[in-house]
Amino acid sequence: MGADRTEVLRGEVLDERTVLGIDELCRACSVTTDWIAELVEHGVLEPIGGEPAEWLFAGSSVRRTRIAMRLQRDLGVNPPGAALVLELIGEIEELRTRLRMPRGR
């Protein structure tokens, strides 16, 4: 028989209350600040703050950034296209949530 192999997974739970600076977001997603700025420019991400050095991002920005990266890498989707796809994903999720809600009579 083979030796037991144990893997330890580490991570953080990120939600809307989690706030990341641009450097933290870049590290979490392994991207450059230029890539984040391009996503902001095209509406994929919505930071709080005026200048890039002051930008703060919600924890959900990690998920949106990673989706945008996969769309570009796997399908060749540009940032404006990623913004559209993410908007549509959000609408689908909202509709699914509404469908699960009990209807009043």
Q: Which of 42, 44, 21, 43 is nearest to 33 (CA)?
A: 21
CB 42 within 8 A of CB 77: no
Pairing between β-strand 19-21 and β-strand 56-58 as defined by DSSP bridges: antiparallel
> pTM for the whole thing?
0.77
30 vs 27: CA distance, rounded Å:
5
CA distance 71 to 84: 11
Q: What angle do CA 77, 82, 88 make, to 5 degrees?
A: 125
Two tokens, residue 74? 């796997």
pLDDT in tens, the chain (105 residues): 556 677 664 556 566 678 999 999 999 999 999 999 999 999 999 999 988 889 999 999 999 999 999 999 999 999 999 999 999 999 999 999 999 988 765
DSSP state letter for 21: E
